[in-house]
């Protein structure tokens, strides 16, 4: 870590329940949590800043760096509260957006529904024009037809709002997406359509598929482009308000936002490509986990962010989060690069029940935050995993049960007694059973996530965060034969921490489907030069000095006739015939490791060129955290904690008092302000200089 000037950095992450603020002031980390305000998210940011300024002792004007993880775009997609949008596409393809790929969402459920098309059929318009697969014009664009379409779109303004998924009141169409066949090969027609629309409809924002996602596959490109169009006014309004409020407060630092790919962008970029922010929050968490783990010396990770209703799982390889271009957000698969987050329906609020076949089940139904588990005292009557932890002594009843509500351990036990009666087990056995089943669910999900991506979980360290992650992780890891679990000190606010250590990052791509033998070095070099020029412009716009700009080039290749691309890093330096040969050789190697086979004799195709432009931001230096005193001094109490139907008198440690280098042995519970770590008998843990708990799960490596 390089020498840093004294500075103050603030990261604000809005979650479903809490808005987390992490402030790093002169190396010291302060975490604050305030309730989120879903109706008016910018108010939640301001409330969070109030709390953070008080707790960490800084003034708004001191803030040198301000970054933000937002769920505005995500919520708009999940709730369908985007603006009314129209689509202009190639003649003959009006319904491609609605038909999709023809698969149905559930094979056996007769009640299943397809995703509503982002743009309803009466707002999808076609224009005569056609390109071939190399971008050659087969049919010229009919500009008069485009003007007629513009008039028709304008006409919708006059009508009452008809989109079933929109909240806007009779405002008509506010956004238009333009998505023409093969526009990624030749954007001329799309550009001309956009120009005409802008002339004819000056108040409507236009998104162009060749700008949003210049990649092959018309359906995926259309979904991504229409979503971007539909979200632009939503994001513009939010970011505008946020910038104004933060500015008025006295923060001078530019507002940066986290994208789904783990890179930060400035407010203008978020306004023009909101579709890139759909996984803003989870991406911050994975970035935070990656950072903390790297400092502890681990680079291959499974990250596990478990909250009340679900658990987000991702993989990190060689210190880089695995990025995917087909992540589903709600009902929509979005084609832009996103950290590959897989959500499992298992959380602290997952409800336990006995099904008609007599098996004990946990989830997928969740008690959520309200009424929540029995132990929240908000009227929850069905036992959850959180209640099981409480009954078995893993969560401190004293500290956890709300004082202002009439709920006690007896209420929790009564819940398990009732459930236990259905299966002929004692309350404690039932609670243990609930945790066993919850862990079996999660183990299955984690294993399949790893195996699908070609990895063996045993070769990874598990990083656990979120309120419930550290409660389960050591046991879960043992089940998966994972030798190490890492629990960051800021396990409850890792997304906000991730906002402070991430670089500025933009992704660019260009599909170019060609037999590899027909690819010439000059064309590839030219395409990369264009992508790089875009990246340079955008980084310069953010005030990133040239020496802090890094560019990673990647080529997606595949065997001819296959549909699975493999991303291959392109070597630095000039692209010549020799570089192309090296790319091809790397492709065969990567294919072998990803898919288990390769054939250098098989013909290869180029599919897409990608460039990641990075503006390097120095991570804030953080002070080592090591309280005075010994491990024994950190023992707050001893409590009865049950494992596998055996009771232990286990030490309960106060995490804030654990000194760096300290070792603890299970069975033990480590309680911190943000999370509780449970070590099984036979497991042990060490505190590293950052305060990260490094758990040895007792599994042989």
Partner 1 sequence: MSADSAAGDDAEVDPVTLEVVRNGCVAVAEEMNANLVRTGYSPNIKERRDCSCALFDARGEMVSQAENMPVHLGAMPFSVRAAVDAFEGDLNPGDAVLLNDPFRGGAHLPDLTLVSPVYDPETLESEDQEPRLVAYAANRAHHADIGGSTAGSVAADSTEIYQEGLRIPPVKLFEGGEVNDNVLEMILSNVRTPDERRGDIRAQEAANETARERVHGMVDEYGADTLESAFEAVKDYSERRMRSEIEAFPDGTYEFGDLLDDDGRGNEDLPVEVEVTVDGDEVGVDFAGTAPQTEGPINAVLAVTSSATYYAVRCVTDPEIPPNHGCYRPITIDAPERSLVNPEPPAAVVGGNLETSQRVTDVVLGAFATEAPERVLAACQGTMNNVTFGGTDPRGSEDTDAGGEPYAFYETQGGGFGGRAGKDGMDGVHVHMSNTMNTPAEVLETAYPLRVLRYSLRPDSGGAGEFRGGLGIRRDIEVRGHTARFSLLADRQQHAPYGLEGGDEGERGAAYLYEDAQAYAAEEDAGVSVGEKLPQKSVHDLDPGSVVSIRTPGAGGYGDPDERSPSALARDLRLGKLSPEALRERYGVDPDELDGE
CA angle 322–325–326, rounded 5-degree value: 110
What is the layout of strands, in order, in the sheet containing 264-266?
Answer: 28-35, 18-25, 8-14, 63-69, 255-258, 264-266, 504-515, 604-615, 549-559, 566-569
Looking at beta carbons only, is 114 or 247 nearer to partner 1?
Answer: 114
- Does position 114 interact with partner 1 (CB under 8 A)? The reply is yes
- The interface region with partner 1, picked from 11-19, 196-204, 352-360, 652-660 by CB under 8 A, is 352-360
What distance in Å separates the CA atoms of residue 12 and residue 146, rounded to the nearest whole number? 44
- Does position 153 interact with partner 1 (CB under 8 A)? The reply is no
Residue of 348, 346, 490, 360 whose CA lies nearest to 420: 360
- Quote the least distance from Cβ 293 to partner 1, whole Å: 25
Among 137, 359, 529, 632, binds partner 1 (CB under 8 A): 359
Looking at beta carbons only, is 450 or 484 nearer to partner 1?
Answer: 450
- Does position 156 interact with partner 1 (CB under 8 A)? The reply is no
- The interface region with partner 1, picked from 143-151, 295-303, 337-345, 358-366 by CB under 8 A, is 358-366
- Does position 358 interact with partner 1 (CB under 8 A)? The reply is yes
- Quote the least distance from Cβ 231 to partner 1, whole Å: 23
Looking at beta carbons only, is 106 or 547 nearer to partner 1?
Answer: 106
Among 18, 65, 66, 182, binds partner 1 (CB under 8 A): 182
Residues 461-520 that bind partner 1 (CB under 8 A): 513-515, 517-518
User: Contact, 594 vs 572, CB < 8 A?
Assistant: no
Q: Which residues contact 93 (CB under 8 A, 6 or more apart)?
A: 126, 181, 218
- Quote the least distance from Cβ 93 to partner 1, whole Å: 6
Among 5, 546, 561, 573, binds partner 1 (CB under 8 A): 561
Residue 677 CB-half CA count within 13 A: 35
- Does position 243 interact with partner 1 (CB under 8 A)? The reply is no
- Quote the least distance from Cβ 192 to partner 1, whole Å: 20
What distance in Å separates the CA atoms of residue 520 and residue 280, rounded to the nearest whole number? 38
Q: If binding means CB under 8 A, how many residues of this protein chain bind partner 1?
A: 74
Residues 606-665 that bind partner 1 (CB under 8 A): none
Reduce the DSSP state of residue 283 to 3 states and report it: helix
- Does position 120 interact with partner 1 (CB under 8 A)? The reply is yes
Q: Which residues contact 605 (CB under 8 A, 6 or more apart)?
A: 513, 514, 515, 516, 557, 558, 559, 560
How many helical (H) and strand (E) elements, i.e. helices and strands, does the chain have? 17, 35
Binding mask 71-110 for partner 1 (x = CB under 8 A): ---------------------xxxxx-xxxxxxx-xxxxx
Residues 126-145 that bind partner 1 (CB under 8 A): 132-133
- Quote the least distance from Cβ 203 to partner 1, whole Å: 24
Q: What is the DSSP letter of 384?
A: B
Q: What is the b/e burial string over 21-47, where b = at least 16 CB atoms within 10 angstroms of the residue's CB? A: bbbbbeeebbbbbbebbeeebbebbbb
Strands of 15-102, DSSP E: 18-25, 28-35, 63-69, 85-90
Among 39, 169, 202, 356, binds partner 1 (CB under 8 A): 356
Looking at beta carbons only, is 489 or 591 nearer to partner 1?
Answer: 591
- Does position 158 interact with partner 1 (CB under 8 A)? The reply is no
- The interface region with partner 1, picked from 8-16, 150-158, 218-226, 233-241 by CB under 8 A, is 218-226
Residues 312-341 that bind partner 1 (CB under 8 A): none
User: Helical H runs in 250-345?
Assistant: 267-272, 280-296
- Quote the least distance from Cβ 154 to partner 1, whole Å: 18
Residues 360-399 that bind partner 1 (CB under 8 A): 360-361
User: Contact, 484 vs 461, CB < 8 A?
Assistant: yes
Question: What is the pairing mode between strands 566-569 and 604-615?
Answer: unpaired
Helices 280-296, 494-501: inter-axial angle, 10-degree rounding: 80
Reduce the DSSP state of residue 415 to 3 states and report it: helix
Residues 7-66 that bind partner 1 (CB under 8 A): none
Among 112, 328, 529, 623, binds partner 1 (CB under 8 A): 112
Residues 420-449 that bind partner 1 (CB under 8 A): 422-425, 432-433, 436-437, 440-441, 443-444, 447-448
Looking at beta carbons only, is 105 or 250 nearer to partner 1?
Answer: 105
Q: How many CB atoms lie within 10 A of CB 102?
A: 7
- The interface region with partner 1, picked from 21-29, 41-49, 119-127, 626-634 by CB under 8 A, is 119-127
Q: How far is CA 420 from CA 12, 362, 412, 436, 640, in A?
A: 43, 14, 12, 15, 21
- Does position 522 interact with partner 1 (CB under 8 A)? The reply is no
């Amino acid at each position: 870590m390089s020498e840093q000037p004294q500075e103050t950095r603030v990261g604000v992450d809005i979650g479903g329940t809490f808005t987390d603020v992490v402030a790093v002031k002169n190396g010291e980390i302060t975490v604050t949590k305030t309730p989120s305000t879903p109706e008016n998210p910018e108010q939640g940011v301001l409330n969070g800043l109030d709390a953070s300024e008080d707790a960490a002792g800084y003034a708004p004007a001191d803030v040198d760096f301000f970054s933000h993880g937002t769920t505005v775009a995500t919520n708009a997609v999940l709730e369908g509260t985007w603006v009314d949008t129209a689509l202009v596409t190639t003649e003959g393809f009006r319904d491609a957006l609605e038909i999709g790929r023809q698969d149905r969402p559930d094979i056996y459920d007769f009640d299943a529904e397809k995703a509503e098309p982002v743009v309803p059929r009466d707002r999808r318009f076609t224009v005569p024009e056609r390109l071939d697969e190399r971008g050659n014009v087969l049919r010229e664009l009919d500009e008069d037809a485009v003007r007629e379409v513009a008039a028709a779109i304008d006409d919708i303004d006059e009508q009452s709002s008809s989109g079933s998924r929109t909240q806007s009141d009779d405002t008509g169409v506010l956004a238009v997406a333009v998505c023409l066949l093969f526009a990624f090969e030749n954007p001329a027609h799309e550009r001309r359509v956009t120009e005409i629309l802008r002339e004819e409809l000056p108040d409507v924002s236009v998104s162009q598929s060749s700008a949003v996602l210049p990649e092959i596959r018309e359906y995926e490109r259309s979904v991504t482009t229409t979503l971007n169009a539909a979200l632009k006014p939503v994001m513009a309004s939010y970011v505008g308000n946020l910038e104004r409020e933060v500015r008025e407060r006295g923060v001078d630092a530019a507002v940066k936002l986290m994208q789904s790919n783990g890179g930060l962008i400035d407010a203008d970029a978020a306004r023009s490509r909101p579709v890139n922010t759909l996984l803003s929050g989870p991406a911050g968490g994975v970035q935070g986990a990656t950072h903390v783990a790297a400092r502890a010396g681990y680079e291959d990770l499974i990250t596990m962010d478990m909250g009340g209703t679900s658990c987000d799982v991702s993989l990190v390889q060689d210190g880089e989060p695995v990025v995917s271009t087909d992540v589903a957000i709600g009902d929509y698969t979005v084609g832009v690069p996103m950290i590959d987050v897989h959500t499992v329906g298992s959380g602290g609020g997952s409800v336990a029940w006995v099904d008609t076949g007599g098996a004990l089940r946990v989830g997928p139904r969740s008690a959520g935050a309200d009424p929540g588990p029995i132990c929240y005292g908000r009227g929850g009557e069905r036992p959850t995993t959180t209640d099981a932890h409480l009954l078995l002594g893993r969560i401190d009843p004293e500290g956890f049960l709300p004082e202002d509500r009439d709920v006690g351990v007896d209420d929790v036990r009564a819940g398990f007694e009732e459930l236990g009666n259905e299966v002929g087990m004692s309350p404690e056995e039932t609670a243990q059973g609930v945790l066993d089943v919850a862990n079996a669910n999660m183990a299955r999900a984690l294993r399949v996530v790893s195996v699908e991506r070609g990895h063996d979980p045993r070769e990874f360290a598990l990083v656990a965060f979120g309120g419930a992650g550290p409660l389960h992780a050591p046991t879960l890891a043992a089940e998966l034969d994972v030798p190490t679990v890492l629990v960051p000190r800021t396990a409850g606010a890792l997304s906000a921490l991730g906002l402070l250590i991430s670089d500025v990052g933009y992704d660019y791509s260009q599909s170019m489907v060609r037999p590899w033998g027909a690819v010439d070095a000059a064309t590839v070099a030219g395409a990369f030069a264009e992508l790089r020029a875009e990246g340079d412009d955008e980084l310069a716009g953010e005030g990133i000095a040239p020496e802090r700009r890094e560019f990673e080039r990647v080529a997606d290749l595949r065997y001819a006739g296959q549909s699975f691309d493999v991303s291959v890093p392109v070597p630095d330096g000039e692209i010549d015939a020799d570089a192309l040969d090296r790319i091809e050789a790397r492709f065969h190697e990567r294919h072998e490791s990803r898919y288990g086979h390769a054939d250098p004799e098989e013909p290869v195709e180029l599919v897409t060129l990608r460039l990641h432009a990075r503006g390097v931001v120095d991570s804030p230096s953080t002070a080592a955290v090591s309280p005075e005193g010994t491990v024994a001094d950190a023992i707050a109490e001893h409590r009865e904690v049950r494992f596998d139907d055996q009771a232990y008198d286990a030490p309960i440690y106060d995490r804030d008092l654990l000194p760096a280098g300290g070792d603890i042995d299970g069975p033990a519970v480590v309680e911190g302000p943000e999370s509780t770590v449970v070590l099984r008998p036979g497991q042990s843990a060490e505190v590293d200089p950052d305060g990260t708990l490094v758990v040895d799960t007792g599994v042989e490596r």
